[in-house]
Amino acid sequence: GDGVGVWTAQTLLSVDAAAFAAAASTVSLSAEGAHVLSWFSRDLVDNAELVASTSVVVDLTPPLTVLLISTPSVAQASGTVVGPATVLSLSAQDAVSGVKDTFFALSTGVFALAPATFTLTGADGARVVAFYSRDNILNAGPVENITVLFDATPPVSTATI
């Protein structure tokens, strides 16, 4: 109501400077990006308040995350070979709301918050690096699985005289 008891008759809404129309109880925005919502109400004797507005950003796209592998490493048909000195890192990008966090798991382990960089240890063999990121709206990207081949064994040389 207003100051003398004449109740609101109608609230009108505009999205992105479109013509004002009767507002529903909820508003759904399906287009990703920045939007401006403007609204005002009228009472039963056609008194209108000033137009109010706010900006909102709709983010429907999850972040994109990639595994970065430093040298020393060797790309082969069967996968990338890495050693104990190879630094691995995860890089995520989200153009709309930004990246909130990135998670990873090694060889079907439990997902944990990803460190800035990490290396592999242990016995030689294939390792699965699984990872995903969330943006600031909590859209989660798909879990990516990259298999790397870990080689910590130095070569053995022999001389024949």
Mean pLDDT of 91-119: 96
Query: pLDDT at position 14, please?
Result: 96
Task: Provide the pairing of β-strand 33-43 with 99-106.
Answer: unpaired
pLDDT at 4: 65
Q: Which long-range contacts (CB under 8 A, 24 or more apart) does 3-10 make?
A: 6/43, 6/44, 6/45, 6/47, 7/43, 7/44, 8/41, 8/42, 8/43, 8/44, 9/41, 9/42, 9/43, 9/44, 9/46, 10/41, 10/42
Position 90 confidence tier, pLDDT thresholds 50, 70, 90: very high
pLDDT at 109: 85
What is d(CA 91, CA 63) in angstroms, rounded to the nearest whole number?
10
Tell me the one-letter amino acid at 58: V
In the prediction, which pLDDT does 3 show? 64
Closest among 13, 72, 58 to 37, alpha carbons compared: 13
Query: What is the tens place of the pLDDT at every residue in 17-54?
Result: 999 999 988 889 999 999 999 999 999 999 999 999 99
Which tokens sit at 120?
A: 């592999």
Give the integer Cα–Cα distance in Å for 137 and 132. 15
Confidence band, pLDDT 50/70/90 cuts, at residue 2 = low
